[in-house]
Structure 1
Amino acid sequence: MLEVKVKTQPIRKLYDYWLSKASPDKLPARHDIDPAEMADFLPHLILLDVQTSPLDFRYRLIGTHISAYLRNDHTNHWMSTLDHQKPPSRIWDNCKQAVETAQPIYPSTPYVGPKKDIVEMEDLILPLARDGVNVDMLLVGVTYTRKSAPLI
């Protein structure tokens, strides 16, 4: 499994949690993930459904920390319907890579949103698979750093 060197506590906790649910030859599934065990970083999570034919991603859950930094609530929207996320876009390509490789993706996606004081966004895309192999969901962690604030 790819080792990821993260910067913020919520992303570190998410990655450690995901690793604890994975095995050397199987990805964790959605049913392995328990929100009650993720209280420390739940506000920093996005859960995406993966549709494979044609490829698309549907926002199932957007944590409260993340929604505060978005222009609109994307819950239940398909990524292909969002102008700044549909292909070709960096976020689409990052999600596609996570599906195709069945590996964590630590992409350093730039922040695009209404808040002008964001200097950095840290994101981590983690694959989930009902059968342990074929990715059918993505668990994404996101934190934001403001100009005047330490990493959160």
Structure 2
Amino acid sequence: MTDGRMRVMGGSPSARAAVSPLPTPRGEVRFEASAPEGWLLEALGYWRRQRGGRRWPRRADIDPIDIPALLPGIILLDLVGAPPRFRKRLVGSAIVEKEGGDTTGRWLDECVNPSIREEVLRQHREAAEAPEGNCYRVAFTGADGKLYSYQRLLLPLSGDGQRVDMLFGGARFLPPVAARR
């Protein structure tokens, strides 16, 4: 699923998305391809079971009744056009809390911190093209000096079995830790 790639992007206190309880990054934002951990492993297992023998599961295969404990961290994105643009179809309550508001129905490129927008969009396009999507750990130091990190898992869905038309995944937010001095 991942090849261990790491990307480092610049960040600035003035560059941020809409109001967000996550603090503004101070300095660089690190992106590292990683294997899913915690409940994201459950989401990946569910996606694989729903896929069955097909290349990708359909949106209709993803039933919230099957995964109630995962719903707060789940996201569904529509892929629109070519190259794809990503519209948030469903945003779980834990993500809404971290984003500082409900971004359901909004375009991803309008919601992401401008300093990391291109990298985040690249990762979403990558997930739509990879057989089993991708997972990245994102880490940054906030203005408060604490280290913040989360993991984002993105998995392809296809209504016709030929092309990816949605992404299913989630974000697992880790508790902030005091930065080492």
Task: Please say which of residues 125-134 and 84-93 is displaced more in the overlay.
Answer: 84-93
Change (3 A) 1:37 1:82: same
Query: Counterpart of 2:109 in 1: which secondary structure?
Result: helix
Q: Give unpaired runs (5+ residues) of structure 2.
A: 3-33
Quick check: 2:152–2:169 contact (8 Å CA) kept in 1?
A: yes
What does residue range 1-152 of structure 1 map to in structure 2 within 5 Å?
2=1, 5-8=35-38, 10-82=39-111, 84=113, 88-110=117-139, 119-147=148-176
Letter in structure 2 aligned against 1:64: S
Name structure 1 gaps, 5 residues minimum: none
The 3 A distance-change label for structure 1 pair 128 and 90 is: same
Q: TM-score under structure 2 normalisation? A: 0.69
State which structure, 1 or 2, has the greater radius of gyration over its C-alpha atoms.
2
Contact 1:99 1:135 survives alignment (8 Å): yes
CA change 1:83–1:143 in 2 (3 A) is closer
> Counterparts of 2:133 and 2:121 in 1: how far apart (Å)?
15
Label 1:113 to 1:123 Cα distance change in 2 as closer, same or farther (>3 A).
farther
Give the secondary-structure state (helix, strand or coil) at the position aligned to 2:98: coil
Percent sequence identity is 26
TM-score scaled by length of structure 1: 0.81
Q: What do the CA deviations read for 1:26-80 (whole angstroms, capped 9, x no partner)?
A: 2000001111001010111011000133420001111011111113321111123
Q: Which structure: greater strand fraction? A: 2
From the superposition, tell whether residues 131 and 119 of structure 1 become closer, same or farther in structure 2 (CA, over 3 Å): same
